Amino acid sequence: MANKNKADAQLYQFKITLKDAPVPIWRRIHVSSTENFLNLHTYIQDAMGWYNYHMFTFEKDRGKYLLVDSEESLADYGNDLAANINLYEVFTAEKDKMLYTYDMGDNWEHEVVLEKILPLLPSTPHPVCIGGKGKCPPEDCGGVWGYADLLEILKDPKHPEYDAMCEWIDIESGDDWDPNEFELEAE
């Protein structure tokens, strides 16, 4: 596919949804179509609230596009580097989807859907998170099942692990961890 320059760029509106989460967790972001998948990974990390501690993959069409973060990951997980593929090469129409997996141990799977293709005007801010729902789960809590367990523990101050979990996620014992909380950061 021919290279596109910034003049050919469009604005992609993505909805990123954490799959199988015990509460709805999603983000909506605007990104230039000329960005690569490594950059998209970074934008998802920022929008979701992850800390980019772990490996990731993007997958579409049963592995046709299986994009990874590093040369070391290619042999085990991928067929190309995320930095080598631009978004417009894979996302060609609204409703196109990919699976984004973050942290191969906890296996946080996200559905990435191209909701809209919009004109990219010079005044259009991007990349930017424009909406969302739900608090990002803490890193290394054991995936969606571990997060569900954490939420159950945090509902019960008499649970034997309650104080340890509060300390681990850095909240004061007795404070609420609201999994439905989402705050759009001001740019």
The token pair that represents 71 in the structure block: 């040369």
Task: Name, in order, each residue with C-beta under 8 angstroms of 135's C-beta and a sequence gap of 6 or more.
Answer: 25, 49, 177, 178, 179, 180, 181, 182
Residue-wise burial string across 123-141, b where 16 or more C-beta atoms lie within 10 A, e elsewhere: eeebbbbeebebbbbbbeb
For tokens 């631009």, the residue is: 86
pLDDT mean by block of 10 residues, the chain; 187 residues = 66 98 97 97 96 92 80 81 93 97 94 97 93 94 95 94 90 77 75
**β-strand pairing of 108-119 with 10-18:** antiparallel
Give the integer Cα–Cα distance in Å for 185 and 139.
Answer: 20
Class of domain 9-133: alpha beta
Per-residue model confidence (pLDDT) at position 187: 43
pLDDT at position 157 is 92
| Domain spans of the chain, in order of start | 9-133
Q: Is the pTM of this model over 0.85?
A: yes
Please tell me the predicted confidence (pLDDT) of residue 85: 94
